[in-house]
Amino acid sequence: MQVRAPAKINLSLKILGQRADGFHEIETLIAPISLHDEIEIERRSSGGGIELRCDEPTVPQGDENLVVRAAKAFFAKTKRKSDVSIELRKKIPGGAGLGGGSSDAASTLLALNELFETKLSRETLAEIAARIGSDVPFFIFQSAALCKGRGEVVSPIKLHKQFSILPLKPDFGVPTAWAYSRWQHSREIPGIHYGAQKFAGHTFVNDLERPVFEKFIFLAQLKMWLLKQPEVSAALMSGSGSTVFAVLHENADPLLLATRAKAELDPELWSCVYETR
């Protein structure tokens, strides 16, 4: 069985405070985008448990990989024999704030549920997903959604419109836990726009920009550069970064914008052109 694991962007991310369990209470509007990893899962009769192969050598193996953790959690829940071969082909960059690992885990749960005909509800799968990671339940519902709590309370919604998105990522990542840990005592950089941006009925804002920009100044510069470009309706960091994405006007040429960004800012920028789903 082959499945696609979509990336995501946070159209908004508000931090409401720190919780007693060490996590942060958030409210975030998340949308899947057409960038995706590919996962192939096969049942095996020869035994051997869960075997994972990945074409990206930097991806962790064993229990450190969310795909393996998702598969183990599924088999523990269903009491099925855990003999599967999983091949993961990565297209979503890591440390980018695009949810690649979380999406891979959720897509594995969905695929195993279908492959083994266990008929677990999405709500049950989301409960399993919440024990794997805060972003994982979002991907179970395969829809844009408003997520609350630490991210595990998911309310699917329909976006007012689909957006053409240009994500730009430098050659470094940002650890999510680090970004949240710095939020409370971080400060704004003078001259950088952190306020809400309004476009097409949506409000674009990300409270994690404050701690992340304080350390990774280039991301603040990238956002401000994008906001000055004629093709751009809004620009925002996704999740904890390091991706900053531009929401493009209709008929804008994203390839021209990406080429200009690489020429003027950083020739090593990773870029792609995708749409919200």
3-state SS of 135-193 is CHHHHHCCCCEEEECCCCEEEECCCCCCCEEEEEECCCCCCHHHHHHHHCCCCCCCCCC
Query: Would you state the structure tokens that stand for residue 199, as one six-digit string?
Result: 């476009």
**Residues 17, 99, 131, 66: is their CA dihedral positive or negative?**
negative
Catalytic residues, by residue number, are: 8, 135
Which ranges of the chain does DSSP label H, i.e. alpha helix? 66-78, 100-115, 122-130, 136-140, 176-183, 209-215, 217-227, 254-264
What letters, b where the CB count within 10 A reaches 16 and e where it falls short, cover 236-269? bbbbbbbbbbbbbeeebebeebbeebeeebbeeb
Q: How crowded is residue 220: how many other Cβ atoms within 10 Å of its Cβ?
A: 22
Q: How crowded is residue 15: how many other Cβ atoms within 10 Å of its Cβ?
A: 18
Kindly report the length of the chain. Answer: 277
H or E, element range at 7? strand 2-18
